[in-house]
Structure 1
Amino acid sequence: MDKKGSEPSEFSSLLLSTEPQGFGANDGVDFEGKRQTQASSIPTTLMFSTFVAVFGSYVFGSAIGYSSPSQSGIMHDLNLGVAQYSVFGSIMTIGAMVGAIMSGRIADYSGRRMAMGFAEVFCILGWFAITFSKVAWWLYVGRLLIGCGIGLLSYVVPVYVAEITPKNLRGAFTAVHQLMICCGMSLTYLIGAYVNWRVLAIIGIIPCLLQLLTLPFIPDSPRWLAKVDRLKESDSALQRLRGKNADVYHEATEIRDYTQAFQRQTEASIIGLFQRQYLKSLTVGVGLMILQQFGGINGIVFYANSIFISAGFSESIGTIAMVAVKIPMTTLGVLLMDKSGRRSLLLVSAVGTCLGCFTAALSFVLQDLHKWKEFSPILALVGVLVYVGSYSIGIGAIPWVIMSEIFPINVKGSAGSLVTLVSWLCSWIVSYGFNFLMTWSSAGTFFLFSSACGFTVLFVAKLVPETKGRTLEEIQASLNSYSSER
């Protein structure tokens, strides 16, 4: 391209005008799609790089899952009250907000790999602090450090995976982030039923070390390397990720041209994101994160045991049932991501979470009215399982997938930081307030969550674009063009 050539909006128009006919409908079939990656022959480097990255997702899940099985042991051993344990459960989200604020800048300046490494150092220090805690303050410090680490990981893992994968695999590969969160959470629930909370914290260190030791063996993101003008390294990384014999010329040229076009613009600060040009991307990214969290997920998974006890159901059976539903449904979501598309999965998921919360709320209403006493605990379990299963199939993973896809390279750091910060702020509000809401009204709490899930259905139907089958450059050009024309 001519260095004095078109502005990014002109480049977007050019890209949109030259895309294959029928673009965005169902395809994923394109010039490089068949040449460079067949589902039957995924390059080893791409598989290994994704696997290493999602160790961070497992760490994320184990941190979230830790507070539920550890609650009774920590409260007994350190003599903590409900309010103090609520601080412990929710302070991780404060740390995650700090990590989120730093995440975009660290990932932009030091690279995606280095950002994951920094995150794991925070997590390892945090797990050690919890393991050797004798007083509540050390617990809080450890949980805060883990929060900083997973705040970084929650941004950089899906962004890295989205940036290294071809478009026909990107949805499924990025959704593995949520699958590994689910695995980390579920295994922590199960292991926590049999081991002491200190031993559980030591076990939490293992996946952190695994990622830290394997990061040097994977390439950094070709798109980030192009952004920092390391073009030869970008081409080399892309070739490794697509396979020795793959023709990457078209994809490498598109990445380079699009990156250079947006690099002519000054990198936007968080305040600079509130421009017309980025309005749709920002609304979709932030809106999905708010609705994901206000649907109640962190309150439910942080305090699953106490929900089952309140409903009069066995906490151990309830927890095992949650794990039995969560992992298969998350796996199903991964398999469907690039077949059914993001929007349809989100809609099905949001309807399911709405019905699940409504069913759980109904069980607490019956309990308060002293009717169907034998039936209401089962109804609570069914409601929670429907909620968890529906959440796992779509709304758990897809907001992070879409967040990693919709922002152009010149604002990805700032936008990612803002979206991740909003997610963790809403998570803190829900996780801190959950016990107090349940004390106020168990039924009312789940009715509130059900209303938020119902609003999610409307939000997705009206505003969320389908990103299946498009390269990152095509998605961002489409959204940029939409904003410019409005």
Structure 2
Amino acid sequence: MISMARTIVWILIGRFLTGLCVGLLGPVGTVFISETSGPKYRGILLAAISLAIAIGILIAHIIGTFLNWKVTAIICAIFPLLCYIVVFFVPESPSWLLSKGDVSKATDAFFWLRGYDEESIAELKSLMKKYQKIEGQKATWSETFDRLRQPTFWKPMIILLIFFFTLQFSGVNTVAFYSVTIMKETLGDGINEYLAMIILDIVRTIMSIVACILLRLAGKRPLSITSAFGAAFSIFGLSAFLLLAPPNSTSLAWIPLTCLVSYICFVSIGLMPVPWCLTGELFPLSVRGVGSGISSAFNFLTFYVVVQTGPYMFRSLTTPITFAIYGAVAFLGGIFLIFFLPETRNKTLQEIEETYMRRKDKSQP
């Protein structure tokens, strides 16, 4: 639709439909990956969502740099078409099949996805016991609403909403969407802003690969905290340079570029991948779909708000002040994560849920 558009109206309709479909796929992807992968590799696979986004941005920017927007739209349409075809060869989530009472297909899908070993058998038995309990107590609307009021739901929800707020209002997507404009202002004249933009995209992609490895080695909590504070200080440095540097200081262009690269590196190892990982991990089985849907919708809502307000903030508040605000959000978000972000590395989904249930029991007299 976008590639064949002759008026701005059709472009806007195409963008709306694209955004709607991406928004619907967001929670589905995280829940599917979390339910079909084991604790050993779940973090890496969930972090691969951010890697895929980084690769997509890089490809789109490279194509858009050398080709016109209509050709770019056609090429970008090929990727979701390929994914649509591949989905037909992927089995349903074992958890979803169990929720429908299809134990035979759930067992086959589980072993097809995870292999047949003692660890897989033990986890499948635990999963089946969990679903037997849920099946024995079919929830009414009022009971479902009551579950949403439990600490096992709203505590993870608050953590994720603040995490996604920190991610978006630290400015990561503003930098991605308006990278050419930002490059012109921060690097000055005489710098190839398109080349600098692609360099940042390459850095983002490389660091997303690094994040997949680090999540397996170090865990989500330390990476998230390091990411938030590192991003904050990097963008504070960029803000300070823009405030204090003399006009047209092309010889000092390496300083803001270093700050931007550092910012992208820090954001990519924690703030970008971890909240997506947690949407598929923190919520109890009975409300996981609702929880991941609400948190993902909030993420896309804040995504929209920050991208729409970015240009206005640059004009009315100036670029240095805007970056300072983004840095303050990242810094405050890092403080929140220190006190409230749990570690889920090497834990099954059942173990994570039981952790919140124990906390709930301790809080009751």
> Per the shorter chain, which TM-score range?
over 0.9
Name the amino acid aligned to 1:431. V
Deviations 1:168-223 (A, max 9, x none): 11111111111111111111111211111000000111111111111111111111
Does the 8 Å contact 1:356/1:387 carry over to 2?
yes
Q: CA deviation at 1:324?
A: 2.6
Contact 1:269/1:414 (8 A) holds in 2: no
Q: Which residue does 1:467 correspond to in 2? A: 344
CA distance in 2, matches of 1:148, 1:168: 32
Give 1:311-322 correspondences, 5 Å limit: 311=186, 312=188, 313-322=191-200
1:50 aligned residue? none
Instruction: Find the aligned partners of 1:419 and 1:408 in 2 and give their Cα distance.
Output: 14
* Partner residue, 1:163: 35
Kindly report which structure 2 residues correspond to 1:56-75, keeping only aligned pairs within 5 A, or say none: none
1:228-280 deviations in Å (ceiling 9; x for gaps): 21111111101111225666331111111123334526277679624334232
Structural mapping, 1:261-272, within 5 Å: 261-263=133-135, 264=137, 266=139
Segments of structure 2 that go 5 or more residues without pairing to the other structure are none
- Verify the 8 A CA contact 2:152 2:283 in the aligned structure 1: no
Q: Name the aligned partner's letter for residue 279 of structure 1.
A: W
Match of 1:238 in 2: 110
Q: Structure 1: 5+ residue runs without aligned partners?
A: 1-128
Question: Do residues 188 (structure 1) and 60 (structure 2) align?
Answer: yes
1:326 corresponds in structure 2 to 204
Q: Distance in 2 between matches of 1:362 and 1:271?
A: 49
Alignment of 1:63-462 (within 5 A): 129-243=1-115, 248-263=120-135, 264=137, 266=139, 273-311=148-186, 312=188, 313-367=191-245, 370=246, 373-440=249-316, 441-462=318-339
Matches within 5 A, 1:29-68: none
Q: What is the SS of the residue equivalent to 2:162? A: helix
**Partner Cα separation in structure 2 for residue 462 and residue 412 of structure 1:** 24
Residue identity in the other structure for 1:307: I
Match of 1:74 in 2: none
Q: 2:35, 2:95 within 8 Å by CA — same for their partners in 1?
A: yes
Q: Per-residue deviation at 1:372?
A: 8.0
Give 2:362's aligned residue.
Answer: 485
Identity %: 25
Give the SS at the match of 2:229: helix
* Whole-angstrom distance in 1 between the partners of 2:116 and 2:125: 18
For residues 259 and 288 of structure 1, what CA distance do their matches in structure 2 show? 30
Q: CA deviation at 1:467?
A: 0.2
Task: Report if aligned partners of 1:366, 1:373 keep a CA contact under 8 Å in 2.
Answer: no
SS in 2 for 1:217: coil
Which amino acid letter does the alignment assign opposite residue 298 of structure 2? V
Residues 376, 483 of structure 1: CA spacing in aligned structure 2 closer, same or farther, 3 A cutoff?
farther
CA contact (8 A) 2:152 2:353 kept: no
Amino acid at match of 1:303: Y
State how far apart, in whole Å, the 1-side matches of 2:296 and 2:219 are.
Answer: 23
Q: 1:188 to 1:412 in 2, by over 3 A?
A: same
Q: Distance in 2 between matches of 1:386 and 1:167?
A: 30
The secondary structure found in structure 2 opposite 1:220 is coil
Aligned length: 356
| 1:425 partner letter | L
Q: CA deviation at 1:386?
A: 1.0
Letter in 2 for 1:333: A
**Equivalent pair of 2:2/2:14 in contact (CA under 8 Å):** yes
* Cα distance in structure 2, aligned partners of 1:197 and 1:284: 39
Q: Is the 8 A contact 1:308 1:318 kept in 2?
A: yes
Q: Distance in 1 between matches of 2:13 and 2:357?
A: 42
Please list the CA deviations of residues 11-47 of structure 1 after superposition, one character each: whole Å capped at 9, or x if unmatched: xxxxxxxxxxxxxxxxxxxxxxxxxxxxxxxxxxxxx
Deviation at 1:283, TM superposition (A): 1.4
Partner-residue secondary structure (3-state), 1:479: helix
Cα distance in 2 between the residues matched to 1:439 and 1:219: 50
Deviation at residue 415 of structure 1 after TM alignment: 1.0
CA RMSD, 1 decimal: 1.9
Contact 2:180–2:197 (8 Å) recurs in 1:
yes
Deviation at 1:376, TM superposition (A): 4.8
432 and 445 in structure 1: CA distance in 2 versus 1, 3 angstrom threshold: same
Q: Secondary structure at 1:193's aligned position in 2? A: helix
Distance 1:483 1:245, change over 3 A: closer
Q: TM-score, length-normalised on structure 1?
A: 0.70
Q: Which amino acid aligns with 1:332?
A: V
Paired position in structure 2 for 1:32 = none
> Are the structure 2 counterparts of residues 265 and 343 from structure 1 closer, same or farther at C-alpha, using a change threshold of 3 Å?
farther
